[in-house]
Amino acid sequence: MKPLITVLVLAGACAGIFALGSIRQGADDKPLLNVADELPITVKVAKPTRREITRIVQSPGDVEAVLEVEISSEIVAKIEEMPVEEGDLVKRGDLLCRLNDDNLKAEVVSGQARVAQLKANIVQAEADLEQAERDCQRQTRLSEVDATSDKERFEYVVVLKKARAVLEMRTQELAEAAAILERVKEDLKRTIIDSPISGVVSKLNAKQGEVVITGTMNNPGTVIMTVSDMSKMQVRARIDEVDIPLVKAGQKARVYLQSDPQVPVPARVVRVATKGTKMEGRDVVYFEALLEVLSTESRIKPGMTANVEVEAAKRDDAITVPVEAIVHRMRKDLSEEIVQAFDARQSKLDLSDRARQAQYIKVLYVMDDEIAKVRLVDAGIADTRSVELCGDLVGMDDLVIIGPYRSLDQLKNGKKVALSDEDKKKMQEAAGGKDGAEEKLAEADDGKKDSTDKDQAVAKGEP
């Protein structure tokens, strides 16, 4: 019986110690009973800095000429002559291609003959109409004196109407034949293809001797060549739907060509598409943005692929911390004070209780007397390295904990922290540099004072 009571007493004591160790008190979330000293978490720190920060929106894109014309044929014919090659410079009005025109010339001759024939038919129809009008008038006079019958007079009236209809028909046929002849002449002119702009033959798709066809609803037709004005270039960028609200016309941008990714090319956003496009086979929506290239360098050529960086926002004198310092914590893991301050910022948002409980809150930790203290973050714009801090929750002299990641993941408000050896060395060097500068300043002041005393003694004639 006695051993059983001893075991029960020891078990109860252990349970009590465990319960006391699990109970937390105060805002620092420390246990009520510390069975052993808490080991500090090794961290890296950095102070907030003032610097210029720019929010960048990145996207892929393709380089193309602002003015680019695809040369196609408006008739079906064989290429008879092509005096240009790919890469040739051409001026507006220069001959690019000449198509075979034998059939069209024959059609012109045939059309002219048809027009002449119809003109002769009209002369004949006019003569027949005059004859029918005279016969009808004579029959009308005879009918007035009862010299002819009504039936015979009506027959002459029908002949008159037919003569008028024949003349009208011949006239319309002449108009139709003249229109056909005019169209054939226009097609004959289209056998000579001149350059509509001054530029460079950037792409050549056809050769001399090939037959070119016109485009239809289901067939785009033959594109003989492409002429590009190389003096002005643009980039057609594909911006993700997440970033498109940040991109607006007039914003500065940089273009990095795949052929020379180290040297950026200045650009400017011209316009942004109002409707998105979904990539084939993927549930990704992007919006096209057109960027004007503000450079005339010869290395920029149509068809190149590029990466675009658009300056969506910029601050010249922002208080920033490294992006690693910003962490996300669930509402239940933060103090009531932090949660209430966060809810006050979101008072205008109509969120359900379930949505609020599922929210993550952006915070950072500062090191204060070897203790980690949480601060609510009011983040502004960010780039790849830093985040802008708005408000006055973090001071310029605060030591913001920026890593390592394992330590940030374990951090809680009130946890003990210790500087890494690297940060200790940096802080000692910084402190030593400050003390050394103060000592040098004091020595300079003493030397200046001694020199002044000596000059005064010499002036008085003292040794």
pLDDT at 92 over 90: yes
- Interatomic CA distance for residues 57 and 31, integer angstroms: 46
Choosing among 1.10.760, 1.10.287, 3.40.50, 3.90.198, the CATH entry for 101-189 is 1.10.287
Query: Residue 313 above 70 pLDDT?
Result: yes
Q: Considering the domain 228-313 in this protein, what is its CATH number?
A: 2.40.30.170
Model confidence at 218: pLDDT above 80: no
Q: Would you place residue 201 in the very low, low, confident or very high pLDDT band (cuts 50, 70, 90)? A: very high
pLDDT value at 1 more than 90 = no
pLDDT (average), residues 95-109: 93
For the chain, percent of residues with pLDDT exceeding 70: 82
**For the chain, what are the domain ranges?**
26-47+327-376+398-419, 72-100+191-227, 101-189, 228-313
What mean pLDDT do residues 342-347 have? 81
- On the 0-12 / 13-18 / 19+ scale of CB atoms within 10 A, 282 is exposed
Give the model's pLDDT for residue 158.
87
Separation of alpha carbons 86 and 193, rounded Å = 16
What are the tens digits of pLDDT across the range 171-195?
999 999 999 999 999 999 999 999 9
Instruction: Using pLDDT thresholds of 50, 70 and 90, give the confidence band for residue 138.
Output: confident
Q: Tell me the fold of 72-100+191-227.
A: OB fold (Dihydrolipoamide Acetyltransferase, E2P) (2.40.50)
Q: What's the average model confidence in pLDDT over 81-99? A: 93
Comparing 380 with 351, which gets the higher pLDDT?
380
Q: Is the pLDDT of residue 95 over 70?
A: yes
Say what the pTM is: 0.64
Beta strands at 260-272 and 252-257: parallel, antiparallel or unpaired: antiparallel
| Predicted pLDDT at 12 | 63
Q: Other CB atoms closer than 10 Å to residue 402's CB: what's the count?
A: 21
Please, what's the b/e burial string for 199-223 (b: 16 or more CB within 10 A of its CB; e: otherwise)? bbbbbbebeeeeebeeeeeeeeebb
Q: For residue 146, what are the CA distances in angstroms to 30, 151, 153, 157, 160?
A: 137, 12, 11, 17, 21
Closest CA to 405 of 33, 21, 43, 130: 43
Rg of the chain (C-alpha set):
46
The C-alpha atoms of residue 60 and residue 258 are separated, in whole angstroms, by 10
Judged against a pLDDT cut of 80, whether residue 223 lies above it is answered with yes
- How far, in Å, CA of 405 to CA of 407, rounded? 5
Q: How many helices (H) and strands (E) does the chain have?
A: 7, 25
pLDDT given for residue 452 in this prediction? 41
Q: What token pair was written down for 443? A: 């020595």
pLDDT tens track for 416-455: 999 888 888 887 777 665 554 444 434 444 544 444 444 4
Mean pLDDT on 61-85: 92
Question: Would you mind telling me the total number of residues written for the chain in this entry?
Answer: 463
Bridge pairing between strands 327-330 and 260-272: unpaired
Long-range contacts of 130-135 (CB under 8 A, 24+ apart): 131/163, 132/156, 132/159, 132/160, 132/162, 132/163, 132/164, 133/160, 133/163, 135/159, 135/160
Supply the pLDDT for residue 268: 96
Closest CA to 29 of 431, 378, 444, 415: 415
Kindly state the average pLDDT of the residues 120-125.
92
Would you state the pLDDT for residue 445? 47
User: Does the fold of domain 101-189 match that of domain 72-100+191-227?
Assistant: no
Q: How confident is the model at residue 23 (pLDDT cuts 50, 70, 90)?
A: low
**Per-residue pLDDT, 151:** 74
Rounded to the nearest 10 degrees, how much is the dihedral formed by the CA atoms of 337, 342, 343, 344? 90
The predicted-structure confidence for 224-247, as pLDDT tens digits, reads as follows 999 999 889 999 999 999 999 999
